[in-house]
A and B are shown apart, each in its own frame.
Chain A
Amino acid sequence: MRALDRKLLRDLRQIWAQTLAIALVLGCGIMVMVGAQATQATLVQTQAAYYDRHRFADIFAGMTRAPAEIVSTVAMIPGVAQVEGRIGLQAVLDIDGMAEPATGRILSLPATGPTLNLPLIRRGALPDPSRPEEVALSEPFAEAHDLIPGSRFHAVLNGQRRELTVTGWVLSPEFIYAMPPGALMPDDRRFGLIWMGEGAAAAAMDMQGAVNELALRLTREGDSRAVIDALDTLLDPYGGTGAYGRDRQVSHAFLDGELSQLGAMAVYIPPIFLIVSAFLVNMVLGRLIAMERVQIGLLKALGYGRAEIAGHYLKLAALIGVIGVGLGWGFGWWIADAMIRLYGDYFRFPFILRDWGTRALVISALLGLATVGLGGLRAVWSSLKLPPAEAMQPPAPPVFARGMADRVLAALRLRQTTMMIFRSILRWPGRAAITLFGVSASVGALVMSYFMMDAVELLGESVFQQANRQQVTISLSQAQTESAVQDATSLPGVLRAEASYVMPVRALHGHRSRLTALQAHFPGTELARLVDDAGAVVALPVDGVVLPEMLARALGISAGENLRIEMLAAPRAVLDLPVARIIPQGLGQEVHIAAPALFAAMDSVPQVNMIHLAVQSDRMDALNAAIKETPAIAGLTDWAEVRRQFDATLSESLLTMVLIYTLIGVLIAIGVVYNAARIQLSERSYELASLRVLGFSRAEVGYVLVGEMMLLTLLAIPAGWVLGVFLAQGMVGAISTDMMQLPFHLSRRTYALAALAVFLAALGAVLMVRRRLDRVDLATALKSRA
C-alpha cells in the first residue's frame, strides 16, 4: 500500500465518529431509496407474475341480468381475446362464534372450469358442480374463522337461509386487496369471497341461463377504451352498470396506489439526505484540509502534484461514500424485507418474487458517491490554490473587522462568551448556513413524515366523527319506499333510523365520463352527513348536485354547468342536473344531491336502499341477530368495527413508519450538529483552552460551544417547518391518485414533535462533543497551531 494511502486510512480512523455520522446520514437516504425501490420492484414483479399466471382480466362489466349467450357476442368485439361470464351477488353470512353478520360476495364458477381470474387453491378443492351446498372460501376469511374444508356455515341467499359446506381455500388475483363494500380497508373477519358451482349459484339466485358479471382479456392490440364503449352499448339493454378497466378495479387500484406511493418515497425522501451529506463531507473535509495545511504544503514541496493531492482527499470522501452506501444497502435490504412482510399482511399474494432492486443499488451507489465527491471537491479545490511555501505557514488569524452587527451586539451589552457565539456565527456565515440548512432539513423531513399521520387521522376524523356518526348502515336487497325507515326503527336497539339512496351511475360531461355513485341525502339527516375536508357539514342545495373536486376535475366540469347522470340500475333514469357546488373532499368520488331534488327530477316517489342506524350500544347483539334473520337486508356495515380496524392499521403500520422516519430524521440533526460542533472544537480549542486558563469554568466554556449550536438549532426549526410544508405538499401531489387525494393538513402536534425531536437530538449531539472539551489538555491545546 502506498504511504499516502496509509495516511488516508489513519486520517479516517482519527475522524471515525464524524465519518460514521456522515455515513449514517448518507446511508439513510440510500436505505430509503433501496428499501422503497426494492419493495416496489418486488411487488410489481409479483403482481405481474400473479396476474399473468392466473389470467387476471383486463376489463370488467356488470349488469342486472343477461342471457349466458351474451358471452359469445362479447367475444366478437374487436380486441377481445377471451370472455367469461359469471353470477355475482352479495349475501349476509352467519358464522358460528360471530355475533354480527358477515358479508359475503358469491361468485359462480363456470361449469367447464374458470378460464379468467383463476382461483388458486390453497387447501382442499374447488366445489363439486353437482353438489349445490359446496363452496370454496377466500383464504383470509376462512383462516379468520377457522373454516377448514368440511366446516359448515349459513348464508342468506336471495332471501333464503342456506347451509353451505366448505371444500377448500382459495386466493384470486381479483382480490389481492379484498375490500368489503363501503369499507375503507380490508377486513378479513367480516368480508369473505365465496366460490360456488355455476348451477348452484344460478338456482340459488334465480339466474338460470343468465349471467350478471363479465370478465374480459384483451388481445395485445386490444384498445380498452373502444372495448369498454362497445360493452356499454351492448350491455345497456341488460341493465349494464358500466364496464371498467383495471384502473377502476378496486383491488388493482389500491395496489397500484400503494406502489406509486412507494415510488414517490424513493424519489422524494433521499435527496434531502444526499444534499445534507454532501454539505457534511464538505464541512469535515474542509476542516481536515485546513488542519493538514502544513502537510499539504509539504507534499507539494516533496513534488506531489495537485492532481495527486486532490485525489488523496477525494479518496477520503469516496471512502466515506462507500461506507454510507454500504450501510444504506444493508439497511435498505433489511427494511425492504420488513416492508414486504408488512405489505404481505395487506395484500394477499400466493407467492413473492423477490426483486433485489439491482437498479436501485446501482443508482444509489452512483448518487451516493457523486454526492460525497461533489461535497469533497469544493473543499479540496481551496487547498490546491495555496502555493506550497504559504501552505506551510500557519494560517493568518481570521479578520474580525467591526461592522454594523458589532454595534448592535455592543449595544446589547452581552457577556463576552455570548459575544463570542454571535461573532463566530457572523464571521463564518457559510458554516452557520450549512448547520442551519442541515438542521432545518431534519425538521422538514420529520414534518413531512408526521404529515402522513396527520392526513390519515384527519381522514379518520372526517369519516368517523363528522360524516358517519351512525353505528350501523344496512343496505337493502331492493329499493323500498320511505316506510322502510319506520320498519328499521322497530329493529331491536335502534334509536334513530335515517334513509339514504345510493345508485351506481355514469357521470358524463362532454366526452369525459366516470363510473361513480349518486348519493341522495334526505332532509333532516343527522347521522350520515356530507362533510368536506375542513370538517364542515355541507348543506345540500335545493337544486342541482354537489361534486368533490377530484371528480369535477376528472370530468372537466365547473359549477353552473350541466352534468349528465345515467343510472346503471333500475330505474335506469338519465338526468341532466346543474352542478351547484364543488367541494374539497380528499376521499370523495361520488355525486351528491338532495333527495327531494333527485326524486323530483326522476318524477318518482322517494326511494330508500340504505338505512343508517343509531343503536344503543348494549343492544348490538340483538340487532345483529335480527338482521341475520331479515331477508330484505343484503349487507351491513358496523362503523365501530370499521373504526377499530382503521385505528389498528394506523397504530400498526403507520406508527412503525413514523418511528423509522423519526429515527432517520433525527440522524440528520445528529450528523450535522455533531460534525459542526467537532469542527468548532477543533478550530477553537486554542481559544477555548485560553478561556479556561483565564479562569472560566468548564460550564462557561462549554456554553460557548453548546450555545452556538443550540442557537443555530433554534433558528433552524422555523425554517424547517416551512421546508416541511413544501415537502408535504410535494408528497400530496406525488401520491394522490384518481381515487384518493390526501387532505393537506398539518397539525400543531406535527410541528411540535418535529421541533422537539430535533432539538433533543441536537442537544445530545453537542453534549457528546462538549464532553471532549473537558478532556482537552490545556497545555497542549495552547501549544498547537492552527
Chain B
Amino acid sequence: MARDTQALPVFRAEGLTRIYRTGAVEVRALRGVDLSLTEGEMVVLLGASGSGKSTLVNILGGLDLPTDGRVFFRERELTRASDRALTAFRRDHVGFVFQFYNLVPSLTARENVALVTEIARNPMTPEEALARVGLAARMDHFPAELSGGEQQRVAIARAIAKRPDVLLCDEPTGALDSKTGIQVLEALHEVNRDLGTATVLITHNAAIQRIAHRVVVLADGRVTRDEINTARVLPAEVSW
C-alpha cells in the first residue's frame, strides 16, 4: 500500500501562527507549523485537545486566517485571498466533515446534500453521493430521524458530492461508538481510494492512525512528529 511520493502537493503551509484574543486572554493555538499534503494522500492529524488540530484544519479549509504564516492551495496563496475568493475556494475545492455533523435540521438527507450539489461545478447527484456512503434507503429522512453514524455519513456524502480536491474531517468519529465510527471510517477510506481525494482526518484517537498514509502529531501548537505509515490497515481491522 505504498504511495507514489512524487505526487504533487495540494496544500503547503509555512510557519503558521494563530493567536486568539478574548479580552485580556491570549491563546496561541498554532506556533509556527509547516505542513504539506499531496494528491490522494490520507493524513491523520493526531493530538490532544487544545493542540491546535482544528485551528490548522480551519485555516487549510479557508474558514479562518492565520495571524502569521502562509498557506498555498496548489499555486494559490490562500492567506492573501479575499473573502469572496475564499468562499469560491471552499465551494469548488474543499469538503468538510465535522464532529457534530452540522446537518441542517430542517432539511432531509437528500436535501442536505443538494445544498452543496446546487452550487458546485461538477457534482455527483445527491442520490449517488448518499449511495456511496450506504444511505440509499434513508435519503428522505430528516436528521432527527437518523442515528449518529447515519448523520455523519450524510455529512460525508455532502462533503464528497462536489468531488472536492481535499476532504477535511474534524473528529468525524468523535461523537460515535466504535462500531459506527468504523463504518464512517470505511466510508472515508472508500472515497479516498475510489476518488483519490486527499483527506485530512483529525482525531485524538491514536488507534485511527493505522489507516493513514501519513501521521502528523501536533502538540501545543507545534508539529512534533510527521511520518509515513508503512503498516497501513483497513478500517475494519482497527478497534478501540
Give the CA-CA distance A3 to B120 in the complex, in Å: 13
Q: Is B209 part of the contact surface with A, judged by Cβ < 8 Å?
A: no
B87 in contact with A295 (CB, 8 Å): no
Q: Does A303 contact B (CB under 8 A)?
A: yes
Contact of A303 among B58, B83, B91, B111 (CB under 8 A): B91
Distance between Cα atoms of A302 and B112 in the complex (Å): 11
Tell me the A382-438 residues at the B interface (CB within 8 Å): 387-390, 392, 396
How far is the CB of A344 from the nearest CB of chain B, in Å?
Answer: 50
A11 within 8 A of B: yes
Chain A residues within 8 Å of B83, by CB? 306
Contact A387 B87 (CB under 8 A): no
Among A4, A300, A308, A396, which residue has its beta carbon within 8 angstroms of that of B90? A300
Say yes or no for A783: interface residue by CB 8 A criterion: no
- Contact partner, B87, options A2, A305, A396, Cβ 8 Å: A305
Are the CB atoms of A303 and B88 closer together than 8 Å? yes
A303-B102 contact, Cβ under 8 Å, with A6-B111, A387-B63, A396-B22: no
Q: B90 contacts which chain A residues (CB < 8 A)?
A: 300-303
A20–B62 Cα distance when bound, in Å, is: 40
- Which of chain B's residues has its CB closest to A396's CB? B22
With A3-B115, A389-B58 given, is the CB distance from A304 to B106 under 8 Å?
A: no
Name the contact of A11 in the complex, choosing from B61, B87, B96, B106 (C-beta under 8 A): B106
Min CB–CB distance A675 → chain B (angstroms) = 20
Is A14's CB within 8 Å of the partner chain B?
yes
Q: Report B-chain residues with C-beta under 8 Å of the C-beta of A388.
A: 63-64
Pick the residue among A7, A294, A302, A392 that contacts B107 (CB under 8 A). A7
Give chain B residues whose Cβ lies under 8 Å from the Cβ of A14.
106
Residues B87 and A304 in contact, CB atoms below 8 Å apart: yes
For residue B162, which residue of chain A has the nearest CB?
A: A303
**B residues near A6, Cβ cutoff 8 Å:** 106-107, 111
Chain A minimum-CB-distance residue to B84 = A305
- Convert A1-44 into 0s and 1s, putting 1 for each residue whose CB lies closer than 8 angstroms to a CB of B: 01110110011001000000000000000000000000000000
Judge if A250 is at the interface, Cβ distance under 8 Å: no
A10 and B102 CA atoms in complex are apart in Å by: 17
Beta-carbon contact of A302 and B63 below 8 Å: no
Interface string of B85-103 (1 = CB under 8 A from A): 0011111101010100010
With A3-B112, A10-B106 known as contacts, the answer to whether A301 contacts B119 (CB < 8 A) is no
A10 to chain B: which residues have CB within 8 Å? 106-107
Which chain B residues border A390 with CB–CB below 8 Å? 64
Contacts of A559 in B (CB 8 A): none
Indicate whether A301 sits within 8 Å of B22 (C-beta atoms), given known contacts A3-B111, A7-B104, A294-B102.
no
Q: A785: shortest Cβ distance to chain B, in Å?
A: 10
Contact between B107 and A304, CB atoms less than 8 A apart:
no
Expressed in whole angstroms, the minimum distance between the Cβ of B105 and any Cβ of chain A is 8
- Confirm or deny: A459 has a beta carbon within 8 angstroms of a beta carbon on chain B: no
Nearest residue (CB) in B for A303 is B91
- Chain A: residues with Cβ within 8 Å of the partner, total of 27
Q: How far is the CB of A292 from chain B (nearest CB, A)?
A: 9
Residue A679 at the B interface, CB < 8 A? no
A-B pairs with beta carbons under 8 A, tally: 77
A interface SS class: helix
Q: Give every chain A residue within 8 A of B118 (Cβ-Cβ).
A: 2-4
Please state if A303 and B119 are interface contacts (CB–CB under 8 Å). yes
- Give complex CA distance A396, B107 in Å: 27
Residue in B61, B106, B107, B120 with the greatest tally of chain A CB atoms within 10 Å: B106
Whole-angstrom distance from the CB of B110 to the nearest CB of chain A? 9
B58 contacts which chain A residues (CB < 8 A)?
A: 389
Question: Across the interface, which residues of A come within 8 angstroms of B64, CB to CB?
Answer: 387-390
Are A304 and B91 also in contact (CB < 8 A) when A3-B118, A7-B104, A11-B106 are?
A: yes
List the A side residues contacting B112 at CB < 8 Å: 3
A302 touches B116 (CB 8 A): yes
Chain B residues whose CB sits within 8 angstroms of the CB of A11 once the complex forms: 106
Q: A710 on the interface (CB 8 Å rule)?
A: no
| B91 in contact with A302 (CB, 8 Å) | yes
Residues of A within 8 A of B84 (CB): 305
Contact pattern, B 107-145, Cβ under 8 Å of A = 1, otherwise 0: 100011011101110000000000000000000000000
CB nearest neighbor in A for B20: A390
Contact partner of A302 (CB less than 8 A), chosen from B65, B88, B96, B111, is: B96
B residues in contact with A304, CB < 8 Å = 87, 91, 119
Cβ of A294: which chain B residues have Cβ within 8 Å of it? 102
The CA-CA distance from A282 to B118 in the complex, in Å, is 29
Least Cβ–Cβ distance between B64 and chain A, in angstroms: 4
Contacts of B115 in A (CB 8 A): 3-4, 299, 302
Chain B positions 214 through 236: 1 when the CB is less than 8 Å from some CB of chain A, otherwise 0 = 00000000000000000000000
Q: What residues on B are CB-neighbors of A308 within 8 Å?
A: 119
Contact with A along B61-75 (1 / 0, CB 8 A): 101110000000000
Closest residue of A by beta carbon distance from B103: A298
Instruction: Give which listed residue, A3, A300, A306, A392, contacts B114 with CB less than 8 A.
Output: A3
Residues from chain A with Cβ under 8 Å of B61 in the complex: 301
Within 8 Å CB of B106, what residues of A? 6-7, 10-11, 14
Complex Cα distance, B85 from A306, in Å, reads 12
| Chain B residues within 8 Å of A4, by CB | 115, 118
CA distance in complex: A7, B143 (Å): 13
Q: Are A392 and B98 in contact (CB under 8 A)?
A: yes
Pick from B91, B94, B102: contact of A298, CB under 8 Å: B102
Report chain B residues within 8 Å CB of A396: 22
Assess whether A303 is in contact with B87, with CB atoms less than 8 Å apart: yes
CB distance from A295 to the nearest CB of B (A): 6
Chain B, residue nearest A12 (CB) = B106
Establish whether residues A303 and B92, one from each chain, have CB atoms under 8 Å apart when the complex forms.
yes
Q: Is the CB of B91 within 8 A of A3?
A: no
Nearest CB to that of B113 among chain A residues?
Answer: A3
Q: How far is the CA of A709 from the CA of B113 in the complex (A)?
A: 42
Residues on A with C-beta less than 8 A from B104 are 7, 295, 298
Q: Is the CB of B114 within 8 A of A301?
A: no
Cα A294 to Cα B111 in complex, Å, equals: 18
Q: What 0/1 pattern do residues 731 to 773 of A give for CB contact below 8 A with B? A: 0000000000000000000000000000000000000000000
Given contacts A3-B111, A3-B118, A7-B106, contact A389 B88 (CB under 8 A): no
A301 lies within 8 A of B96 (CB): yes
State how many angstroms separate the Cβ of B155 from the closest Cβ of chain A: 10
- 11 residue pairs of the A-B complex, CB under 8 angstroms, read A3-B107, A3-B112, A3-B118, A4-B118, A10-B106, A302-B90, A302-B116, A303-B90, A303-B120, A305-B91, A396-B22
Q: Which 10 A-B pairs have the closest CB atoms?
A: A303-B91, A10-B106, A389-B63, A3-B114, A389-B64, A303-B90, A3-B111, A389-B58, A3-B115, A388-B63
- Known: A6-B111, A303-B120; 10 extra A-B contacts, CB below 8 A, are A3-B114, A10-B107, A11-B106, A301-B61, A301-B90, A302-B91, A302-B119, A305-B87, A390-B64, A392-B98
- B residues lining the A interface (CB < 8 Å): 22, 58, 61, 63-65, 83-84, 87-92, 94, 96, 98, 102, 104, 106-107, 111-112, 114-116, 118-120, 158, 162
